[in-house]
Chains A and B, each alone.
Chain A
Amino acid sequence: MNKAILKIENLTTSFRIGSNYHAAVDDVSFTVNENEIVAVVGESGCGKSALALSIMQLHNKQRTKSEGTINYNGQNLLTLNDTQMNKVRGKELGMIFQEPLTALNPLMTIGKQIEENLDYHTSLSKDGKKKRTIELLTQVGIPYPERTYKQFPHELSGGMRQRAMISIAIACNPALVIADEPTTALDVTIQAQILDLLKDIQSRTKMGIILITHDLSVVAEVADRIIVMYAGQVVETGSVKEIFNNPLHPYTRSLLNSIPSATHEKNRLHVIEGIVPSIAKMDRVGCRFQDRIPWIPKMAHEQRPQLHEVAEGHFVRCTCYQDFYFQAEGDESTHDITQSR
């Protein structure tokens, strides 16, 4: 078994809305091992990005509250103060953001932005930093690193910008990289290149990656383990093979059925009724997915649903998966457009 890099236990992150705190990440526990890609999937509003930002502690402290533990290297990141956290962030934990154009500083050259990270965490000389930066740019497959070093973000294409972002994230050889939808803004061909690149870097540096995405096909392509999140909770987790061959939770199955596939025959796509509940209004006692599968009798759900281990390393929340079935074509609720508000 590989060494665990990051161990998250009962992490709950709540946001203040009005005078109350509402949990956007609700009692999430998982570990990331060395040389492993853990994918976190779910629709928008399921708490994936809130989870990523909690690990990096990039939430606004005045309006958020995080409980539980995030164990990295023997210390709980949640107890660190800003100065201590700054030493971890960027050096030990790297982050790749979704939109490279908004995440990069438009007024700084690519080279300077990578060096900024090295400035903070290393004691390299000026020449040393430049050398390292060019080396990084070469590593991420940028064709003319010396030229790109002097260029501004707007002069690069989307794929090249994302490569530059990756080189910032890996500049100090972090043990763990959190990639928040790294390929969502990119074309398929570029997406494939970036995913291959991430795998490639990983095989060299043995880092762990948390890949946050809503695209299950990307997960199938690169991840080792999946965590499916719904309304702030982990609803299903297991190895990629296990989840794709034997998805159990109704939410996972619905997501898989709603993807238009390039390799399968045309038929009607499954539509998940309704929307992800808002964190301020949802019912936190029963199964959070029950409103979106109303044809399943209420009895099938658990009160305060727990994660059940169904196979080794494969956990499913709530008992409703045992009774779940898809409704037949032409039923009222497969054609839900008339119902969802």
Chain B
Amino acid sequence: MTLLKVDNLKVHFPIRGGFFRRVVDHVKAVDGVSFELQQGETYGLVGESGSGKSTTGKAVVKLNDVTSGQILFEGRDLAGLSRKEIKPFRKDIQMIFQDPYSSLNPKKRVLDIIAEPLRNFERLSPAEEKKIVQDFLDKVGLSPESIHKYPHEFSGGQRQRIGIARSLTLKPKLIIADEPVSALDVSVQAQVLNFLQDLQQEFNLTYLFVGHDLGVIRHMCDRMGVMYRGRLVEEGKSDEIYENPQHIYTKRLIAAIPDLEPEVRGEKVKLRRKLTAEYESSYSTFFDENGRAYDLKPISSTHRVALL
């Protein structure tokens, strides 16, 4: 079942300048992106900084205004809704943010942080609320007494788990995870990733996983899309993309991943040089004269690439 369908999504930010701060141009942060998420799957969006992956994620929860295109969530278009109309959907779509240090209010107790979504949508007595918060704290492996602590009393991994507990309280259907482990150490990262997988099974969640670490994306995602300059350049099953990348940008991205085997190092450097040369020589087969990637074309039933 299709849970989320993003169709030709565009997010353009105006550049103002000149007399009366008129709009002189647009930054095309997201420029015609389409993908679908099935119920229960994990879809990854990868790309480097500035490729528009986070903007896409935020547009789905309408934290950014959508310029054009459709965001169909369970068949209803969210793109055109006003702030008020979107409110009921906020219950079903929640977000986990990148930086656990800045996404938790330092002046609030854990109880207030985790209960905030509940307070917005449900009328519960303090006792009921506390019980729900404690249940979720238990689920994410934090002790019951942490309810009265403040964010600074926790380590990075624990804070990220508070952020996750907050996103779960309303039993959402879709979670947008915007680089949830980028700020964490490898060992803590492993913990949070395992834990996200467990929760997915327990609550039948669907994840839109935004990230730049291809190792993490491959580990977590069934399908993924590679973004470059606001466009999707390749989309398909994670295995297909890693084993058989077609677009030059995807190839470069994969070649840039450091390998855990020191023996192959020399070859990797050569491969990267070769791809850089190929990128320059075959630029026109992948990008049009404005440097914009072409539209995606299917090369197999599950794999689509932006080629001429």
Contact = CB atoms under 8 A, between A and B. Distances in A.
Interface of A: 43-44, 158, 187-192, 195-196, 199, 214-218, 220-222, 240-241, 244, 254-256, 258-263, 266, 268-272, 275, 335-341
B262 A341 contact: no
Nearest to A268: B194
Contacts of B257: 188, 217, 262
Contact of A337 (B141, B215, B256, B268): B141
B259 A217 contact: yes
Contacts of B216: 260
Please classify the interface of chain B as helix (H, G, I), strand (E, B), loop, or mixed, using the class held by over half of its residues.
helix
Interface in B152-173: 155-156, 158, 161
Contacts of A190: 48
B191 interface: yes
B252 A189 contact: yes
Interface stretch (B33-41, B73-81, B124-132, B181-189): B181-189
A272 B212 CA distance: 23
Interface in B197-218: 197, 212-216, 218
Contacts of A335: 194
A266 B58 CA distance: 28
Query: A256, A271, A335: which has the most chain B beta carbons within 10 Å?
Result: A271
Contacts of B255: 192
B137 to A, nearest CB: 11
Contact of B260 (A196, A261, A268): A261
A189 B253 contact: yes
Contact of A192 (B193, B215, B256): B256
Most buried by A among B156, B194, B265: B194
Contacts of A254: 187
Nearest to B242: A262
A331 to B, nearest CB: 13
A191 B219 contact: no
A340 B121 CA distance: 32
A195 to B, nearest CB: 8
Interface string B236-280: 000000100000000011111111111101001100100000000
A244 B190 contact: no
A269 B140 contact: no
Query: Which of A214, A259, A335: most chain B CB closer than 10 A?
Result: A259
A335 B142 CA distance: 13
Query: Which of B140, B242, B261: most chain A Cβ within 10 A?
Result: B261
B150 interface: no
A338 B185 contact: no
Given A189-B48, A216-B186, A259 B256 contact: no
B186 A188 contact: no
Contacts of A44: 156, 185
Contact of B215 (A43, A158, A259): A259
B194 A241 contact: no
Contacts of A158: 49
Contacts of B214: 188, 262
24 contacts: A187-B212, A188-B48, A188-B257, A192-B255, A199-B269, A221-B258, A221-B259, A244-B261, A255-B187, A256-B260, A259-B190, A259-B215, A260-B220, A261-B219, A262-B214, A262-B215, A262-B242, A269-B194, A271-B191, A336-B191, A337-B161, A340-B141, A340-B191, A341-B142
Contacts of A270: 190
